[in-house]
């Protein structure tokens, strides 16, 4: 994963976190009697969703990089036709 891909994935993860927080505060929090429990669940869910997105994006970029490296190696060795 190069810098621009990591930057994009990190920024999107922050947007996912912020989106979950705003949606939770507007839609889900009024359903909880305990504000502390609501905030705890919101933070756990938002951090987990953002981290999962970043890790999946990292793995996809790494897989694409390995595939591209293999294609280049095949072309350079003369096996790719």
Q: Could you state, in order of their start, the residue ranges of all structural domains in the chain?
A: 3-77
- Token reading at 36: 């502390």
User: Cα–Cα–Cα angle for 78, 79, 81, nearest 5°?
Assistant: 90
pLDDT (0 to 100) of residue 1: 81
Residue 38 CB burial class (10 angstroms; 0-12, 13-18, ≥19): middle
pLDDT in tens, 33-65: 999 999 999 999 999 999 999 999 999 999 999
pLDDT class of 23 with cuts at 50, 70, 90:
very high
* Tokens coding 58: 């990292």
Please say if the pLDDT value at position 25 is more than 90: yes
């Amino acid at each position: 994963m190069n810098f621009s891909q990591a930057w994009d994935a990190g920024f999107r993860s922050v947007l996912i976190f912020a989106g979950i927080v705003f949606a939770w505060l507007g839609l889900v929090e009024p359903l909880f009697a305990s504000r502390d429990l609501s905030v705890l669940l919101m933070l756990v869910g938002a951090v987990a969703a953002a981290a999962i997105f970043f890790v999946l994006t990292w793995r996809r970029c790494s897989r694409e990089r390995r595939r591209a490296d293999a294609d280049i190696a095949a072309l350079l060795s003369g096996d790719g036709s």
